[in-house]
Amino acid sequence: MTEPDRHRFAFLAVLVGSSALAFGPWLVRLSEVGPVAAGFWRLALALPFLFVIAAVTGQAVHWPGRKLAVLVAFAAFFFAADLAAWHAGIHMTKLGNATLFGNVSSFAFAAWGLWLARRMPSPLQAGALGLAALGAALLMGSSFELSPRNFAGDLLCLFAGILYAGYLIAVQQGRGSLKPMPLLFLSSLFGAAMLLPVSLLLGEQIIPHDWTYVFLLALGSQVLGQGLLVYGIGHVPPLAVGLVLLTQPAISALVGWFAYGEKLRPLDWVGAFAIGAALVLVRLPERGLRTLEEQPS
């Protein structure tokens, strides 16, 4: 089986993983623990599941060597800092603001991919980026609100989006030498070790009254969401990954509809359609597009 055939579902994996991650903000609000503590439980509770999955799939967790371990530690730092900033911001601003500013990573990672390829976006790629940006803006338009009350939370979520882009870049670099499950397990382990002392120093509530939501956060966001994303990121160009991540505002809007009765306006549906059209455009074959080098699965 050729390399493209072996990884023909990589794009779908990124799409499903991104969709699972979109439920994270809702679960953080329901977790009844501090924002940094929620990040710690997301990573810590996922570790046994990631370890078993790694063993079953023949990707046993191992020490990758000092040089690669430093790269994983950088990824863990960016991810832990992203979780701490974003989870705190979620509690300090509107959900629409948090989702919109947090998704600045989508454009940052797409720009990184274009810089890595040493080329400007093609007309097709530029059109896909424009459609995705328009779709995200329309989806968040009904709930987005700039005000002094939200300013600190908005800044935290924006900072979190930049940190998450750093995490994605580090993961992409690590995927050239390390399989997805060991990479995700080690970055989760390092990240949990970083978040717990910060949560304790902040005096947050660590132990939840109901463990349901932190378990769902760990399984949905870390095991399923990050697991599929880390796998797919080794085989999908950064531009496509960045656009897929912009599906999260659409999922967040649907969560608000079902969980809080927030009705979707016609413009919300137009925004969702625009993001879907952008994903179709970015998957169209285009002459001269850069292809990823073959990487281990």
Q: What is the pLDDT of residues 150-206, one digit of tens each?
A: 678 878 888 998 999 999 889 888 887 889 999 999 999 999 999 999 999 999 999
Nearest to 17 by CA among 277, 219, 238, 158: 219
Structural domain boundaries in the chain: 24-122+145-237
pLDDT of residue 138: 73
pLDDT of residue 141: 60
pLDDT value at 288 more than 50: no
pLDDT of residue 22: 85
Contact call for residues 184 and 75 (beta carbons, < 8 A): no
Residues 52-59, mean pLDDT to the nearest whole number = 93
Residues 201-227, mean pLDDT to the nearest whole number = 95
pLDDT value at 255 more than 90: no
Other C-beta atoms within 10 Å of 192: how many? 21
Angstrom distance (rounded) from CA 103 to CA 202? 26
**φ, ψ (nearest 5 deg) of residue 178:** -130, 140
Nearest to 244 by CA among 269, 218, 223, 225: 225
233 pLDDT band (50/70/90 cuts)? confident
| The pair of three-digit structure tokens given for residue 35, joined into one six-digit string | 């924002």
pTM score, whole prediction: 0.80
pLDDT value at 129 more than 50: yes
